[in-house]
Amino acid sequence: MPAKASRAAFGEALLDLGARDERIVTLDADLSKSTMTGNFAKKYPARAFNLGIAESNMIGVGAGLALTGRIPFACSFACFIAGRFETIRISVAYTNANLKIVGTHSGIAIGEDGYSQMGLEDVACIRSLPNIGIIQPADEIETKQAIAYAVEHQGPLYLRLTRQSLEPVCPPDYRFQYGRWLVLRKGHDVTLIGSGGPLFNCLEAAKRLEPDGISAEVINAACIKPLDEELLVQSAGKTGHVVTVEDHTVSGGLGGAVAERLGDLLPTPIKRLGVHGFGESGDQKGLYAKHGLDPAGIAASVKKFLHR
């Protein structure tokens, strides 16, 4: 399977699911070319609505549609979604509206457009809300399954997708399960928990650590909320060291969620890797290297963390 952006896999999944389920509608805020709902709109023009550059209204309209039994996907960049927190808080989460919110262009990996277009705080914001789940798929196969699951899931969801292409990481027979994580690579010295964009780099980092005698377990945390507490505790109990890796601010995202739960369930030394401060313009490779999210950076952080 070639590398594919999760936003592209999302667009393809919607086309397929839309043919089978009349209830699916899409909502966009003038970014349908970027969120990849454009083909759905072409095929099902009566079920695709462009609300213009007005994300708050788009999310509210989506909540209303959901309350009448439609299954709307409200799409924009992750940063513009998070910016409409108050509407998500009341019209979606508190209302428990069956709306699927899709935030593409997550993280510094979008590169050249710079910070204002980077979704870096979306998980931290949305994670604080009851009722709403957060899914961040890591490759094409997982994205398509997550979108299919989202249609079946009763209740609001936030789906965090990438602009950049993602190398396949999940096995061909992979089956997405809500609230469940997957061990992609077994190990016993350290648990690397990744999600979405940087997950492939976690696997690469694990390979680099091998010659140094460090056996890294790599977990795909596609579901950021709810966490897979069982697997988290099991793996942390085994390795005694947890490293989280995410293309998101280092505060309040996947790393924050893992630290909170481990603190409750099994206090374990933890190192959180992510973005510090604001993002900036640049090429994706260079930005990942600068923020230590490339294979070399992740491997170096792990070694330092383990005092090796």
Partner 1 sequence: MAEVRLESIARECRVQILRMLAHAGSGHPGGSLSVIDILTTLFFGRLRYDAKRPDWPDRDRVVLSKGHAVPALYAVLAKAGYFPEKSLITLRKLGSPLQGHPDRTMLPGIEAATGSLGQGLSISLGLSLGLKLAGSSARVYCVLGDGETQEGQVWEAAMAAPKLGQPDHALDNLVVILDYNKIQLDNFVKKVLDIEPVTAKWQSFGWPVLEIDGHDIAQITKALDQAEATTGGPTFIVAHTVKGKGVSFMENDPEWHGKAPKPAEAIKAIREVLGITEGAWEEYLKTDSSTRAIVDELAALEKK
Q: Which two tokens stand for residue 153?
A: 């899931």
Interior CA angle at 121 toward 10 and 261, to 5°?
A: 95
65 touches partner 1 by CB under 8 A: yes
250 touches partner 1 by CB under 8 A: no
Shortest CB 192 distance to partner 1, Å: 38
Distance CA 272, CA 303 (A): 14
Q: Please identify which residue in 46, 154, 173, 213 interacts with partner 1, judged by CB under 8 A.
A: 46
| Cβ neighbours of residue 26 closer than 8 Å, sequence gap 6 or more | 14, 32, 37, 40, 41, 47, 48, 49, 72, 73, 75
Query: Residue 141 in contact with residue 173, Cβ under 8 Å?
Result: no
| Nearest to partner 1 of 38, 64 (CB atom) | 64
Binding track over 11-30 against partner 1, x by CB under 8 A: --------------x-----
95 touches partner 1 by CB under 8 A: yes
Give the β-pairing of 71-77 and 100-104.
parallel
Task: Name the segment binding partner 1 (CB under 8 A); options: 90-98, 202-210, 268-276, 285-293.
Answer: 90-98
Distance CA 275, CA 227 (A): 21
77 beta partners: 104
75 touches partner 1 by CB under 8 A: no
- Residues annotated as catalytic are 55
Q: Please identify which residue in 17, 66, 109, 216 interacts with partner 1, judged by CB under 8 A.
A: 66
70 touches partner 1 by CB under 8 A: yes
Q: Which residues bind partner 1 (CB under 8 A)?
A: 25, 46-47, 49, 51-52, 54, 56-57, 59-70, 72, 86-87, 89-91, 94-96
